[in-house]
Structure 1
Amino acid sequence: MHDIEPGNGARSIPDQLQQWLTRYGSPNANATELLLGQHNPAATAFIELHLDDDSLMAEHLTYGDLGDRSKRLASALAARGVGRGDAVGVLMGKRSELVVTLLAILRLGAVHLPLFTAFSTPAIDIRLIAGKAKVVVTEPTQAPKLAGIDGLTTIVAGEQFDSLVADSEPMAESVTVGGGGAVILLFTSGTTGSPKGVVVPLRALASIVTYMRWGLDVADTDVFWNAADPGWAYGLYYGIVGPLAIGVPNLLLHEPFSASLTARVLAELNVTNFTAAPTVYRALCKDQTDVDGVSLRCASSAGEPLTPDVTQWAAQALGTEVRDHYGQTELGMVVNNHWAEGIRRPLISGSMGQSMPGFTTGIVDGRIAVNVPESPSMWFSGYLDAPEQTTARFVDNGRWYLTGDTGRVDDAGNFYFSARDDDVIIMAGYRIGPFEVESVLTTHPSVAEVAVVGRRDELRGEALEAFIVLTGTSVDTEELKVELQQLVKTQFAAHAYPRDVHFVAALPKTPSGKIQRFVLRQQMDVQPSHHNAGIEGSQRRTM
């Protein structure tokens, strides 16, 4: 028996949503036509930005250019054995070649497998093996990571990529996979085991478009900027796929993040609708960045809660409030402080909003959940080749999908996040499973046991801390700390190394031997890390 608080949702489907559900869920739905063919070839699809001698240069990428290049790249991929249902790895940042590659993959009826550019070779290889990908399209700075992977064909942006496009005949026809056909394969880390694969079908576009139009209120007249990385769900769903679907350009900034550059882009490009991880807003606020000339119509945040000081700063500095939104890789966005007229409500402190049309959400046994039969926009049906993990998510004979986050809902349907129900760490909007970091750390001969947890961090939201039990050998712990940090950077991901390492005599465990990470987090709350004394609490697990 489950304790259920129903919350609110889309029990009567608006006509526009029904049109989207029908359009993207049709057996005849064709991804290339929906994302490319419906638009004016001369219209701008994306604006690619980069610095040149401190000048901010902008290149407008048209639908016609993307169409021609992607048709030619599709022929080149087909010549390398890529066909319907095959996954193609894409290890690139925010650049035009990424969009061209996505469209070429979809033209073949193949599947886009995004790879985060901060991943090291082992983390990349795990995902390629799970997705059975034999071809990867990458960029020059990332290509060396692929050199040691056997049986892999690589295409590198630059001379090789351009030559393949120029020398290949355009593929005129595109494969129709229908609304149930796979278009994206993302991997999300959990607390134990290998990363879990999330297969995104074409019909998920109905949910993506709903969020673009109603959650973010992206208008055709907006200068829109989703600053999230396309190697992750929020940046891919709503920074690449969503803009293509609705025909509103997104900005692709091909430069490392800095608060000053972010403010400069907002001002010089006259951005009116902006969405980013809370880390971006915190950096703008904490660095006291000059935001003169910035005037936003809408500002949105996803990934973790925003602190009150940042929200108060934003209203005055950016010209608008920042609205918090909630979702997961497995679902897209489902609970929002919506921007669209008609469903926009006044902000309530601490609330992440109400159910997005197309989803009915509630609280089941204290956890945020989606009512599957009453959620026509729900597209996730289970993890790739992981029946046990899938079964744990769907309860009551599949009626409820459990997000793994605890929370509550008030009588007006406003949801409030309480805590994560697992140990996934959210750092600067990126989800990091402790298992992958622990697996790398245990390869060091001086490490007998290890547990990785997240601690509150004022800028990043959370930062990693490692608790190490040594093998008994005499070591210089300061030197070992540096070695362990570097080991994670080179064997997993550059961004996911532990900011601090604690050497302990033993780890807290259950009678059955399971590590109790929550005990370590509680200990840090009582005796805070010297890096962030006095800050406590955990962040919610999102995209």
Structure 2
Amino acid sequence: MKHYQDNFAHNHLPSEDLQPDYIWSHPDFEFPENLNCVDKLLDNHIKEGRGNAIAIQTFTEKWTFQDLYEKSNQIAHVLVDDLGFVSGNRVLIRSANNPMFVACWFAILKAGGIVVATMPLLREKELSVMIESAEISHAFCDIRLCDEMNLVNSPFLKNVCTYDGLNENTSDLEKLMASKPTTFHNYHTLSTSICLIGFTSGTTGKPKMTSHYHKDILLICEAFPKYSLQPTAHDIFTGSPPLGFTFGLGGLVLFPFYYGASTFLIEKPSPELLLKAIEEYKITICFTAPTAWRVITSKVKEFDISSLRKCVSAGEALPLKVWEDWYEATGLKIIDGIGSTEILHIFISSNEENMRKGATGLPIRGYEAKIVDKKGNEVAVNEPGRLAIRGITGCKYLNSTEKQKEYVQNKWNITGDIFRKDEDGYFWFVARGDDMIISSGYNIAAIEVESVLLTHDDIAECAVVGLPNEERGMLVCAYIVLKEQAKANSEFAKHIQDWFKEVAAPYKYPREIRFIESLPKTETGKIQRFKLKN
């Protein structure tokens, strides 16, 4: 048994006493000590004669499991042979959802690396923070997204290898792959070897690094899909979440491949394109956010979606009206769910048999949940409190003992969400317990937006809050104190918005700006955000 040559990630794991309890009592959740999750997700399809089955489709491409297997093996050879990679290195992927993203993801794990998947909207500043935090040494970047990547200047980043997401074989990676063998001996990892680092926005401004093991990847495939989806090899999955989110990774790659099904990837998935894909490619399972379900409902009569059998919503609370309108239009029940990057995927949800509209649902197989007060004591039925979770996966922050102690208390994961539990054990979402703004499925930390705004030369002070919004769930609203009050007008507000989109991820920009002469504060100088929200 070999160990990673680069042990940075494992050396930064929280001690066991700071980790949550891991509980399971079913043989489905037992995996061998020696485990590389790629064997189950990809290689076994080849060994068992399913290589010709379709793995990935887009509007212009079709890859079989054999295609994906061979390309992943070639990329793994490129990493090891040409790029100075050693096992345990962290490798960033910068790409929209496309087949080469998936091939790179598998290749990194085949070579014994740790994947750090990112979203295409991130800018140089955000990429740099990730690279510095995780000491990332290598990156695969879609050639169409190189501009921001080229601005990154870090002593940790040794190699950026470009690929062509349009599959036109014009970039560095495809040229290096051309001469490589199509077979590769997967690195012998342990079930408890870290394979994935997911960055999560936090209220401190510095993103937290969540880590997950090879066995965690397979554990979640035995949890939510079996509980809510009952997938078969005949299913075709699609959806809108980026593969850089663990919600998207699970729903669009891990779950379909675990069950021998296929996935349909869309780089810029508008509601219209999702409906087009469902109609033309006979999609059976779709993952997207409540805001998208709202728009899709208004357009669904224009498409034939008779193939669709399961609809999944997560990323923010699903409004009852969206559920009712969709059900009335289609006869399909949207499966709501809550998950987190820390726990990897959905842990409370429902299936068609036990669904109670308006409720998030029940703890799914592999997890248990309770509602607690600030001291960790369980609260009374229907009383709002903090959501506590434990089960087959849990929080393992790499870079912060302090944050680990906040998220894991009394050996339970405390998610930061306020829920209530009814007399039948169903969990109902009440609110977020912090200043996280969830808008159109994106998690946006108020303090991250503030930290960007405060770099603008004309801004003296600012405070960012989330305001309820029917279309997006919440809107990012910035209260801004200008150095020169005379500049406060709608034109200058638009200038700030345009500037923000140039320097940070556009989805984080304040869609509403309110100029204010001073911010409400406590005697100690702390901003009273609740006054702004009201």
User: Taking structure 2 as the reference length, what is the TM-score of the superposition?
Assistant: 0.87
User: Aligned pair in 2 of structure 1 residues 171, 272: CA closer, same or farther (>3 Å)?
Assistant: closer
Unaligned runs of 5+ in 2: 1-21, 165-169, 374-383
CA drift at 1:350: 2.1
Aligned equivalents of 1:489, 1:220: Cα separation in 2: 42
Contact kept, 8 Å, 1:120 with 1:489, in 2: the verdict is no
> In the alignment, does 2:238 pair up with 1:225?
yes
SS of residue matched to 2:210: strand
Aligned equivalents of 2:255, 2:531: Cα separation in 1: 41
Counterpart of 2:434, as a letter, is: D
Counterpart of 1:394, as a letter, is: V
Deviations 1:69-127 (A, max 9, x none): 11111121122122221111101111111011011100111111011111111111111
**Corresponding position of 1:362:** 370
Contact kept, 8 Å, 1:70 with 1:103, in 2: the verdict is yes
**Corresponding position of 2:56:** 47
**Corresponding position of 1:129:** 132
**Corresponding position of 1:6:** none
User: Aligned pair in 2 of structure 1 residues 464, 249: CA closer, same or farther (>3 Å)?
Assistant: same
* Range with greater deviation from structure 2 (309-318 or 459-468): 309-318
Contact kept, 8 Å, 1:259 with 1:289, in 2: the verdict is no
**Corresponding position of 1:141:** 144
Contact kept, 8 Å, 1:101 with 1:137, in 2: the verdict is yes
Contact kept, 8 Å, 1:47 with 1:61, in 2: the verdict is yes
Counterpart of 2:76, as a letter, is: A
Question: Which of residues 82, 85, 103 is equivalent to 1:82?
Answer: 85
Deviations 1:1-58 (A, max 9, x none): xxxxxxxxx98834xxx23x212xx3201122122111135243533223xxxxxx4x
Aligned equivalents of 2:488, 2:427: Cα separation in 1: 49
Question: Which of residues 269, 281, 292 is equivalent to 1:269?
Answer: 281
Tell me which of the two structures has the higher relative contact order, counting C-alpha pairs closer than 8 angstroms and 6 or more residues apart.
1
Contact kept, 8 Å, 1:361 with 1:368, in 2: the verdict is no
**Corresponding position of 2:394:** 379
**Corresponding position of 2:5:** none
Percent of pairs identical after alignment?
Answer: 27
CA drift at 1:171: 5.8
Contact kept, 8 Å, 1:465 with 1:499, in 2: the verdict is yes
CA drift at 1:471: 2.0
**Corresponding position of 2:185:** 173
The 5-angstrom pairing of residues 338-417 of structure 1 reads 338-339=351-352, 344-345=353-354, 347-365=355-373, 366-370=384-388, 372=390, 375=391, 377-380=392-395, 382-396=396-410, 398=411, 400-417=412-429
Contact kept, 8 Å, 2:239 with 2:269, in 1: the verdict is no
User: Aligned pair in 2 of structure 1 residues 213, 371: CA closer, same or farther (>3 Å)?
Assistant: closer
CA drift at 1:250: 1.3
Alignment RMSD, CA only? 2.1
* Range with greater deviation from structure 2 (241-250 or 407-416): 241-250
Aligned equivalents of 2:41, 2:505: Cα separation in 1: 32
> In the alignment, does 2:48 pair up with 1:38?
no
* Range with greater deviation from structure 2 (351-360 or 298-307): 298-307
* Range with greater deviation from structure 2 (296-305 or 385-394): 296-305
Aligned equivalents of 1:323, 1:241: Cα separation in 2: 18
**Corresponding position of 2:194:** 182
Aligned equivalents of 1:195, 1:321: Cα separation in 2: 35
Contact kept, 8 Å, 1:107 with 1:175, in 2: the verdict is yes
CA drift at 1:476: 5.2
Unaligned runs of 5+ in 1: 1-9, 51-56, 523-543
* Range with greater deviation from structure 2 (239-248 or 97-106): 239-248
* Range with greater deviation from structure 2 (323-332 or 476-485): 476-485
Q: How many residues align?
A: 488
**Corresponding position of 1:535:** none
Aligned equivalents of 1:206, 1:27: Cα separation in 2: 14
User: Aligned pair in 2 of structure 1 residues 235, 371: CA closer, same or farther (>3 Å)?
Assistant: closer
**Corresponding position of 1:528:** none
User: Taking structure 1 as the reference length, what is the TM-score of the superposition?
Assistant: 0.85
Contact kept, 8 Å, 2:91 with 2:116, in 1: the verdict is yes
User: Aligned pair in 2 of structure 1 residues 46, 460: CA closer, same or farther (>3 Å)?
Assistant: farther
SS of residue matched to 1:440: helix
Counterpart of 2:125, as a letter, is: P
**Corresponding position of 1:422:** 434
The 5-angstrom pairing of residues 135-534 of structure 1 reads 135-151=138-154, 152=157, 153-158=159-164, 159-160=170-171, 161-170=173-182, 172-204=184-216, 205-254=218-267, 256-286=268-298, 290-331=302-343, 332-339=345-352, 344-345=353-354, 347-365=355-373, 366-370=384-388, 372=390, 375=391, 377-380=392-395, 382-396=396-410, 398=411, 400-472=412-484, 474-475=486-487, 477-522=489-534
Aligned equivalents of 1:273, 1:110: Cα separation in 2: 30
Counterpart of 1:73, as a letter, is: I
Contact kept, 8 Å, 1:45 with 1:244, in 2: the verdict is no
